[in-house]
Amino acid sequence: MIVPLAVSGTIEEGFELRRNIDAESWEAVFLGPALCRGAKMYLDIKETGCREHDRVNPARVNPAMVLTGDERDANVYSVYLVEERACVSALLGEPRLLSMAADALRVDLEDPLTSPRVVEFARAKLGYDAETCAVLSVVAAYRGRRFVAAPPFEIRSDGTRVTSFRRSLAIFSGIDQAVPGSSSWNQAVAAALVRANAELPADSEALYATNRVQNRLSTRLSVEEIRVLFSRAGLGDIPALPEPLRVRADPYPFPLVGSLDPETTALLIVDLQRDFTEEGGYASAMGLDLKPLAAPLANVKRVLAAARSSGLKIIHTRQGFRDDLADVPPHVAARFAKHCDILIGKTVGPLGTVFIRGQPGWHINDAVAPIEGEPVVDKTANSAFVGTDLDRILRASNIHNLVLCGNTLDVCVHSTMRHANDLNYHTCLLEDCCGCAAEALKKAMLHSVKIETGVFGCVSNADAFISALHAMPPPLASLLSSRRGSFRLALSDSELV
């Protein structure tokens, strides 16, 4: 999803630090400058030995916007369309104590310092009578002890004090013609910082309450909504808009709404236990053909590796009863005894006592065994949702989309998929990652998923799912890890986020 973001440095097209708000799946789109009211600019003066200070160039300072709620405090921000996870990665990678606020700053759509592109985009979204709107913006979490008020470059008759980092810093340092980052620039700023250091106040001001603006520009926008808004605003088309990332599936791609996203999608691996995939367990005792039941292991192993590297949430289920048989319904025990010559809790084979927790056959096959951090849900019913905390686990992780595989397709996998559908999860079945004792039965189960235009979900395969996973942006944790250390801000980089 794409979100409008206002940054307090005057980042421009092609500027080096633009990368901080770019994502691999979306290069930030610059809309233009905008006068934002409700925050006062301070110069965040770096102390010796801090992360952004070095002996070669001690003139280190950043803009810091402190919320005041006073519309006379105004700063020229730059407004971008940014991929939402890039907002988070940029914020978390910042060395400063910054935050983001969605309702605190007002974009003045009628001010001449606000770009026409910003005005047209905002009014296309909010209505053409909009005079002001809120925008997600980078602000200081609080006023630091080393913040020095930035001098305004314009004071208006109504009391509005207008700042921008480059122009305010130049006034602060007494610079006229020097180029930001040049030797004369750095020398002038360094001297000004020495003087300011001697005058830093002992206490900081308290923050004022901010005015909330309900007319919010910075809501999450899909790519389709961006296209509509640009068309409505007469801004043309945006180059290289990413299409929603989806898995090839039948009868529709997955997910049907939105894009494949590790933050909302989970892989559910159902009952790939030794009892169902190896000789000497439940399946062989039932006289079932083990070959089609063990066949999915190779594909599930590939899917599992791709899902782990993509940051997908992975959950395993495991079928089994208590060793005291207190959770075995009498009719279930009688059915096994009469028709299968299996006594639950008493029939013992090479993999231990059939269907009992803790026995060798109860454990998940080593080829697809869970690793640390992957929940295992123990169950006694065919559906993994019955009598378990699976639904609570999924909702706690904000999961909406489920990709299912495992054994057996005709019983536990299918029951879990149908139950998930009734709980309003969007489901996709990986057909070559599911085992079924009879090929005709497997075809019937797959057909039942797809009837009525996908009444229970859609059907895909391992290769299609892995291909989609590889096309996803890297998980946020690795994105932050790769970017950590790239947020070294210096005066030679005069336009800062």
Residue 52 buriedness (CB in 10 A; 0-12 / 13-18 / 19+): middle
Q: Assign a CATH topology to domain 2-243.
A: Hypothetical upf0131 protein ytfp (3.10.490)
- Supply the residues annotated as catalytic: 271, 379, 412
Phi first, then psi: give them for residue 445, nearest 5 degrees.
-65, -45
- Is this structure's pTM higher than 0.85? no
Tell me: the pLDDT tens digits for 30-49?
A: 899 999 999 999 887 766 55
Please give the structure tokens belonging to residue 67: 């919320």
Give domain 265-478's CATH architecture: 3-Layer(aba) Sandwich (3.40)
The span from the CA of 78 to the CA of 251, in Å, is: 44
Q: What percent of the chain shows pLDDT beyond 90? A: 41
List the domain boundaries for the chain. Answer: 2-243, 265-478
In contact, 42 and 118? CB cutoff 8 Å: no
Max Cα separation, the chain?
96
In contact, 359 and 285? CB cutoff 8 Å: no
Tell me: the pLDDT tens digits for 99-113?
A: 888 888 899 999 999
Side chain identity, residue 245: L
The span from the CA of 318 to the CA of 130, in Å, is: 56
The span from the CA of 401 to the CA of 397, in Å, is: 11
pLDDT at 401 over 60: yes
In contact, 460 and 248? CB cutoff 8 Å: yes
Q: Taking all residues of the chain, what is their mean pLDDT, rounded to a whole number?
A: 81
Pairing of strands 426-435, 401-407: parallel
Q: In this predicted structure, which of 141-145, 179-183, 407-411 has the lowest mean pLDDT?
A: 179-183
Side chain identity, residue 273: Q
